[in-house]
Structure formats: structure tokens, C-alpha cells
Amino acid sequence: MHIAPRSVTSIARPSVPITGATILSAIALLLAMPSTAWAQSTAMPQIGTISGGNTVLLESRTVKRTPQEITATLRVPFLKPAKVPGGEWFGSRTLVAVRCAEGTVAVKENRYYADAKFAKVANERIVKIPGYAAPVPGSVPAVAMAHLCKPAKP
């Protein structure tokens, strides 16, 4: 059996020739992307918003699942810094434990940051014995429960 070779004209060709300058331009564009936008698009997807309009980001690498509960860390960069005695808070980072079967959630840790890069902790609260309860609608724990307790996509 003889199979005829494909003609060269059937191969799709790019409309712009790929040169070293084209590749360098693409790399420069990627490097110019803000690092926070890159981090948020890959490791910290937006999972919802809270009642004040601030977005809630999930630190994907922190999600831990057991048969009884799911723990995860969430970040909330504030749209406008919150004025508090002693300065301003630019965002929060919260560790939650969610029990989907019971419909309850507990906040295990909560930190507020004095800078937009989440580097300088302004206030920290670590709960020794977390209390589980139904989350307040529009809160960070409510957004966490809604996202983490969704059934897995087939």
C-alpha cells in the first residue's frame, strides 16, 4: 500500500514570522506582568467576595482535606485600607476549618497586615480551642464554606 506524502502547502504557517525578536518580546511581556497578578492567577484563585466588596483569595497550596474537615488559608486584600488605632490594615489572612457535613466552620488563625504585600503583621490572633458554628452570611468563613464544600466536578 502506498500513501502519498502531504504537500508542503497544507501546513499552517504563522502570519507573523517567528524570530528571535518575537520570542524576546513575548518573554519581556511575561516579565513585565506584576508578580501579584501572576500569584493570584496561579496559586491564589479568587473564590468569592465578602459583604464589603473585597475579594477572597484561596491559597491553593494550604488546602488540606480529611474525612471530617477541610482546612485552608484565605487572603482578603482590602479595596481601601481599614483605619484602626495605630495605623491602617491593608488586608487579612485567615486559616479556617470547615466541616461540610455539619455545615459549620471555625476560624483557627487570623492576621491583619500593615502593608499591601502581606509582609508586615499588624495584628495576629491564634485560637487555641476553635469554636465551630454556622458562618455569618457575607463573611470570609461563609465564602470558604461555599467554595470548599462544593461537590467535586466529574
* Domain ranges within the chain, ordered by starting residue: 43-148
Position 62 confidence tier, pLDDT thresholds 50, 70, 90:
very high
Contact, 144 vs 98, CB < 8 A? Answer: yes
pLDDT score, position 2: 55
Mean model confidence pLDDT for the chain:
80
pLDDT category at 150 given cuts 50, 70, 90 is confident
- E strands of the chain, at which residues? 46-49, 55-65, 70-84, 87-99, 104-113, 121-126
User: Of residues 111 and 43, which shows the higher confidence score?
Assistant: 111
Burial class (CB in 10 A: 0-12, 13-18, 19+), 151: exposed
Question: 43-148 has which CATH code?
Answer: 2.40.128.710
Residues 6+ apart with CB under 8 A from 44: 57, 58, 59, 60, 75
